[in-house]
Amino acid sequence: MADSYNAQVAQLLKKADIRINGKRPWDIQVHDKRLMNRVLSQGSLGAGEAYMDKWWDAKDLEAFLQHVFRLDLDIQLQNKVKLVAAAARAKLTNFQSVRRSYKNVQHHYDIGNDLYEFMLGETMVYSCGYWDKAKTLDDAQEAKLDLVCRKLGLKKGMRVLDIGCGWGSFVHYAAKHYGVTCVGNTLSEEQARYARKLTKGQPVQIVVQDYRELKAKPFDRIVSIGMFEHVGPKNYRTFMQTCDRLLKTDGMMLLHTIGANKVSRANDPWIDKYIFPGGIIPSIRGIADAFSGIFIMEDWHNFGPHYAKTLRAWWKNFNKNYSKLDHEHYDERFYRMWQFYLLACAANFSVRGLQLWQVVLTKREAAIEYKSVR
């Protein structure tokens, strides 16, 4: 049976120009003969956990994963029965309810600000940078923050809501450079603690609250950067209705999100278990259906390849600074998990399996002639 598993996986890898124990940087090096059985029975979850357990390696992990994703081998290797079951559960259950959302956020964003400070750089922005003219990660992130401000046409005295404000980078930047008053919300106590310290003395309020529970007089502008991936299909319409309620008639909002090439209701099993529980990458259809009849789409900007560069920069920072982290908290298995996460995502963006969208929306009643900004 093991030989048949080896032959089956070897044939799939051959299609992707990957050799088992080959000499090229993207060839897979197998350290445990049980690997193929684990991958065929468990799909991406088995492959990811096997990497964490040191059952296999590749000299250039990102290049290996690029070959895998280019031919969708990760999908071909998934257990179809389990995938159908996961999709059915997602259809019946709201995995991004208010209660579940708090737990999902804590799993990823509350593991320690020290990790993110070492990885994200000075800006502490945990979303795709804009590398149009930037040479460094910090420059790319500042360029992205300024791009958002310019797309929204921020002016002094405006009130701005940042849904999913992270460590406060956008509200800090917008208040400092554009003279606006900001409210940022997050479900992470660790992020809120950092954001309050960062924005001390600025006209910025940080609240730990689910977006569905926000109550305030309408804002001039709303921004959500890298948060919509946590909303979930069952809540897309509610998200847009909430934004409609919190936005002035002549207001404008910008949604910055990772995008999938097709509709999906189930997260990748490995990503769901170890990185982003409850996360779902939205599709164009999912987003469009959510704002249909509520907002007008003024601009849709895709710069997905910029995310591959951002993820590589994060991996470089994490790898360089790993020795400074507490290895009891961030042990070797965590190191390999984080490496697999960052480089798998970089690979998927580089082969156009994932996109990065910035969508500018206005209310139907607004008399606006919008000019696209790049």
Task: Please answer whether residues 164 and 96 qualify as being in contact, where contact means their C-beta atoms are separated by less than 8 angstroms.
Answer: no
Q: Is 243 a known active-site residue?
A: no
**Burial per residue of 87-103, b for 16 or more beta-carbon CB atoms within 10 angstroms, e otherwise:** eeebeeeebbbeeebee
- Show the tokens assigned to 306: 């910029």
Query: Please, which residues bridge with residue 358 across strands?
Result: 256, 301
Q: Can you read off the two tokens belonging to residue 29?
A: 């090096």
CA angle 116, 122, 126 (to 5 degrees): 45
Which residue is it, tokens 């050799």? Answer: 19
User: Encoding tokens for residue 30?
Assistant: 């197998």
CA 210 to chain centre: 18
Q: Which residues are catalytic?
A: 345
